[in-house]
Every structure is written in C-alpha cells, then in structure tokens.
Structure 1
C-alpha cells in the first residue's frame, strides 16, 4: 500500500472521445499542445508533477525571501552538501539551467560529451555550445526483453576507446537512471569503472542525477554488494565518484520547481558562479524563492526513505504487469519512474516513418484521455527539413512517467484498461506524418496529421 494518506484532493477532467478527437486535432496531434483540462490521467512527465508532503509545505512556510544570504539557502546547502559531498552548491531553477551553465563553462566547440544516453534537453544544451554528443549505451540495452539488471550502464570498452582515441573529450556524463534508455539503472560497479577511466585519462566526470534516489534503490535491490546498504548510503557513494553533478530537483527533489549544480573544483565553480549570477540570479537563490529552497531541502531528505522508494517501484511494476496482461509489452526489467511500452511490437503495421511510438501515445489519449510521451523516431530519429524520416530510432517506445505520490492503483488500472482496449484492435490505430518539424527539440513544437 501507499505509505501515506491523502489530505488534499484535486478533481480530474473526465472527457468524451469526441471532445478528445477535436482537441487533439486542434493541438496538431502533439500532446505538448494539450491543456491540463484536456487530460484525465497525465503521464507525460514525472518532472515537477509530484505531490508535496506536509513537511515540505511546512518547510515552505519557513522560507526566507532575503535576496542575498537567505537562511533558506544555507538550509538547502547543508542538506545538499551532506548528500553529495561537493563543497560548491549552486541552486538553479531546474536541471537544464545547471546543464547550460556547466556546459558553457566546460565544453568547447567540437569537443565530445560522452555518456550512457543524453536526454533530449541535455543533448540540446551540449549542441548549443557547439559540442558533440556521443552516446555509448551498454550492449545489454539493445535487448528490450532481457532481465539484465543494469541496462543503463555505459559500454566501458567503447568508452575507453574514445578516451584513448584522437577525439577531444570535454566530459563524461552518466545519467542515473538512464531515462533515454528506458529508465534503466546504472550499477555502482559501472560508475566506479567510469570514474577510474576518467581519472586515468584526465577527463572530468559528472552525473546527471535527476533520479539519483531511484537509481540507488535499484542498486540495493539488484547489486549484491549493496543489498545491505540504505538507498541514501548508495547515493552518497555514487556522488563521491564524480567531479560534480547537474540535478533536476523536479524529479527526486519531489518539488514543482528547482535544480542544482554541485562541483568539486574551485576554479570551475568560480566560472559557473559568474554565469549563474548573469543568467539565473544571485548565488544564494539561483532563480528560486526561499520557500522553494526549503521545500527542495526537505524533499532531498524524504526521497531516499526506503518505504517511499519501495512503494514507488512497486506501483511502476504493477502498471507494467497490468499492461503485459493487457497484451502490451514493455522494457524489462521495469525501472522506477516510468513504464516504457514497446509500441513497435504492438503496432507492426505502422512503419517507423509514420512514427509508431507517437501513434500509440496518441491512441492512449484518444481512447482514454491518458497523456504520455513518445521515445521513438519522432524524438530520436534523424529527420530532414521536409519532415521525412531519414534514420529511424532503434526502438519505438512510449514512456508512461508516473508522478510522485499523485495517482493510486485504481488510476493505474484505468491506464491498463485503456491499453487493453487498444490491444484488442491494434490494426485500427493510424500512423502520423509531420507537418511542422522544428530543427531543435522537435517533440515539444512539432505538428502532425493522421495517415489513414
């Protein structure tokens, strides 16, 4: 059962299929263009969509809104330092701000940012400074159905070859958990090996630690050496392997807004601080209010509680099980923050150039008002200026991201029932074609039309 009870409730919209068909057409068949009133169950993102605890609300009331040197900052810094071990803590308004500041200070045009899998906004921030992304997922990640426990790992052989090669590597960035790779965890053994390689070749090593607590939980469940460790202890060990981290606290900070850049190197910290002040705010607030900082601090303490993490992992596994029983496969083993549906297997009649993953995500909305995100060729494929798919994504996936402490089991069962209704007649699901295709961050701004 959920290790909490519900104190405040919010009504959710119950709409008809006719209404959803009209609104989705008006939105250019892009779920990012829908409004909250159009959506019954919102699984588009787990970022900033969680429910605050009573203690977080209470902490917010203690927020100090002093411009410089607010008490809230020092409370936030104390918690963040204890967790990460880094001496330089900078609050920012969200994770992509931390990425922009770090990459602007550390990466040069033409340099490589190497990682297990860069997420879309991370990739964009690397490319905006003229650097180049190189993803090196481990071989196990290619098998969606295997029980390999750590498909989020980086390919260590490939990483060593890149580091030893002629290309200029600016940094190595490990995303925990690996969101773009199916929400799969990274093992401590892999992080230790990456850290050792980076030390050997003199390359900075950073964590994209938006879901650090969920990664730590899965390590305690799947990596024998750490079965007797607490999730917080594992998280601390992971942070101390790196030179710094970028964190969206809208995930494992369980807040609606907030992020963090944490660094070990003093000179790099000085460069980042100047960029922070110029673009985000003074170093002790970084674009956040005092109440936000206090709620972030409280969330960072709550998120590693084993009972909270166990229930969250159980809920995600339950949704994946219900989906499989409905006839819809997903990436295994299931992670924590999301279920990744295998749209390509369910809809073999829709070719990649008609965006198979997007087709399933669209049908989930049309059939039941469930909003979610495509992680297939619309997101990862190479597309020309005319909107034609040149190179498809390796897999056509749909991500059902579960907000923290928001939905009950019956909500998840409703999602599974909607999937079951689609799986009965998958051949009825249409494909889609692009009518507008932005060059950068395509899924957020694209417009499409149905192909019948």
Structure 2
C-alpha cells in the first residue's frame, strides 16, 4: 500500500487551540520574536523539538503504575538497568533526569582546561557542557554534510582524516571522542557502522575512549538497515549491539528514543569512571538508583527502549518524514536530503539568500512559519551554533543555516504533515518579502533559548532562483 498509516490507535486526544494570523503576529511580537517564549497553547503544530514531546504507549502508561518510589534500591531501577544492559550491552548504568545532566556529569569528570573533545557535530547543550568544563568542543563531520541537496546516505559520519589529525596533534589532551547518532545539528543524518568502526580503530591507535551520544540510537540503526549495503535487512537489535560494542560508554536523553517525557542515563564500561560519576551524581541529581528520576519514569523509559526497536514503528516514522522531504524537494524548496531520522530540515540560507548569516536567516524563516500557520520550529544555524574567534572575539558563522521541524513521536498524523507542507509552501511563495533579524539582548551561552530580537528590512533582490 502507498498510503502511510499510523501503526497505532489513538486512545486519548488533546485539543489544539486554533489561532488567527493576526493573533499570531501579535503573539510573536510579544515574545520578542523568540519562539521559545511562546506559550504552547498558542501553537498549532509544535515542532520545536522531539525531546520529551511524544506520546507514550498504553504499555508505558501501564508500566507507570508499577513504579516504585523507594529512595534506594528500587526494583524500578533494577528493571531499568536490566533493559539498558540488554539493549546497549554496557554494564555500569547511571540514571539522570535528562541528557544534558548526563553530559554535565561526564564532562565535569573528564573535561577541563586544555582538553579537546572532538565529535562529528556537537549539539548546543553538549557543546555548552563541554565548554563549561573548560574544554574545547571541535566538529569533524564529513564533507558531504555541507551539501544539503546531496543524497549521500551517511552525512552524519565523522571525517576520519581530520579526526586523525586532531588526535595526533592533541595527544593526551583528548579525554574522549564523541559520536552523535543521529547527527542532529547536521540535519538528523545517520552515522554508518563502517564509520563507527573506523573511529573505533583510530581511538584504539591513540588510546582514546569512544563515547556515543545515543539519544536517537534506534533511528540511526534503522537507517543503517536501509542504507548500508552490508547491514540491509538485519534486525535492529543486532545493529544496535554492533554499534555499542564499539563504544566505551554512552550518554542518552531518554526523551527521544526512550519514548518518554523525561529521563536519561550514562552507561560506561570502566568501573573507576562509573564510581566517579556516581559520586558526582549524588551531589546534584540524587541517589545512584534514581538519579533525579521518579521510579515510574524509570519504568516508562525501560518499556520505551524496547518499543522503539519495533520495525513497524520505525518504518512508519521514517516514511512520514520522507514524505514531507520528498514533496518539498519536488517543488524546489531547499531541504536537507536525504530525509533524516527525526526531523525535516529546511536550508534557510538557500530559502532566504537575501539574508546574510549574521541576520539569522533560520530565525527569520522560523518566525514566518509560525505567523503563516502556527507551526513552531527551531533555528539551527549561526544563532544557535556560531563560534567565536579566540584571537579577535568575532563571531564565526555556523557551517549550515537550517530550520529544524522536529517531529514528536506518535503525536501527529499524516493530515498534520499535509498541513505543514501547505504552510511551508505559502512562506516559500512570499520569500522575497522576508528580512533578517538582529539581537537586542541575549546571554553569552545558549542565547537562542532566551534571546530577544527585532526585525530588519529585507534586502532588494533582482531574481528568484
């Protein structure tokens, strides 16, 4: 069959508050053009993030009732620990309330001034936690990732040559190599098993641990099963085992492929590192058998980690995202190709070529998507990821200017995707009229969350490509 259907029945619904265009224009101005400052009740389709925004299954809701809230030694933790060990094959499991807490604990333990942490592409909070420790985060994604229209199957891969140069140059100053699967900031693109093996070989050569940011591990495994010739048709569980057999540890936000609304963990093979992390955990997160999570949430994550490896679920999720990407590309709208694992990424630099990087085309486009149809999205470009020249203090533009439309899991239907297509096309048809934005105030770290902006006038254009 060609029609994409959701492989589930809907048992509970939440009403959507419909707003007019005039109302949305007022609301976004009141929010100082920052979509994070909007109330969710004023959003029609909320694609700001796929983190913790999905719907839980009936089995997860049932598991909540089994939650044991004992401070120490809870059987809910024991079940959670058993599932993480089963799925990832790593012994020492340390729960945290979400992924950035896991990153904070890890980089607080292994980072520090003078250290360098190479990755394929660090996402915003990962980079912030690396740099908060005093270390430097560097990105070595493959060259293919910079061509958003290329159909190269694994544009999340690490650039092995540049990683080798980094390890040779930095030596003992590299506490670990981090590979993010899928590569969120790079367009939700997967990392191949062959690339992970090549990274592992380099880590062995230089004596550096390999860690995986595992928050979308199942989506990455699914894309490996579809795109990597040697892995096609293999069970997802087997591919996941092969991925994490290569790693010394991982961090995870369970708000993505844990299919839960909260939670995360660190898993490590090294017993001494596990001891250090648990000691740090008790200071800030809670006792080692709950780590800031309620027992009921430990149960929900444990169930979600099993459900996310369902082939039927993964087929549906990826088909839904691919449907939108292919239709956008078919009418000439610049979109990251091939379809990523969790989101549609618009190429804002090509969508709005009249706007320079330092007037944030991604933010300008995200604002217009909200005004046009009440769709909330997220800029992933120079507003979020700009670097700073250490000598001059000048901003360095991000490698890509993207808008991410992150699809919450098991939340929206295909009719919502058709509506999304209509909204994007409507903005595309008036793209010449859109100008950039400038910052009026923002904090020095993670400025996109709380910054305030104002509009700039669009630059004149002579032609539309």
Short-chain TM bin: over 0.9
Going from structure 1 to structure 2, the CA distance change for 1:404 and 1:125 (only over 3 Å counts) comes to same
Partner Cα distance (2:88, 2:263) in 1: 16
Per the alignment, in what secondary structure is the counterpart of residue 331 of structure 1? coil
SS at match of 1:378: helix
Where does residue 462 of structure 2 map in the other structure? none
Q: 1:25-104 residue pairs with structure 2 within 5 A?
A: 25-104=29-108
1:421 matched residue in structure 2: 426
CA contact (8 A) 1:108 1:170 kept: no
Where in structure 1 are there 5+ consecutive unaligned residues? none
SS at match of 1:170: coil
Report the alpha carbon displacement of residue 104 of structure 1 after superposing the two structures with TM: 1.1
Task: Please state how far the C-alpha of 1:138 moved relative to its aligned partner.
Answer: 0.8
SS class of match (1:165): helix
Q: How many angstroms apart in 2 are the aligned matches of 1:258 and 1:382?
A: 29
1:122 alignment partner, one of 117, 122, 126:
126
Q: Cα offset for 1:214? A: 0.2
- Could you tell me which residue of structure 1 aligns to residue 453 of structure 2? 448
Which of 370, 378, 392 pairs up with 1:373? Answer: 378
TM-score by length of 2: 0.95
**TM-score, length-scaled by structure 1:** 0.97
> 1:383: Cα distance to partner?
6.8
| Equivalent position SS for 1:250 | coil
Contact 2:226 2:233 in 1 (8 A): no
Moved over 6 A (4+): none
Aligned residue runs from structure 1 range 6-405, under 5 A: 6-167=10-171, 168-382=173-387, 390-405=395-410
Unaligned runs of 5+ in 2: 458-465
Contact 1:177/1:215 (<8 A) preserved: yes
Q: How far 1:40 moved relative to its partner?
A: 0.5
Conservation of the 8 A alpha-carbon contact between 2:347 and 2:403 = yes
* Corresponding pairs, count: 449
> In 1, distance between residues paired with 2:49 and 2:279?
31
Aligned-pair distance for 1:170? 1.4
Query: CA-atom RMSD, angstroms?
Result: 1.3
Q: Which residue of 2 aligns with 1:411?
A: 416
With over 3 angstroms needed to count, the CA separation of the structure-2 counterparts of 1:80 and 1:12, relative to structure 1, is same
Structure 1 contact 326–419 (Cα < 8 Å) conserved: no
Give the 3-state SS of the residue equivalent to 1:393 in structure 2. coil
Partners of 1:191 and 1:394 in 2: how far apart?
A: 23
Q: Is the 8 A contact 1:358 1:374 kept in 2?
A: yes
Report the CA distance between 1:382 and its aligned residue. 4.0
Q: Is the 8 A contact 1:381 1:389 kept in 2?
A: no
Bigger shift: residues 161-170 or 174-183: 161-170
* 3-state secondary structure, aligned to 2:344: strand
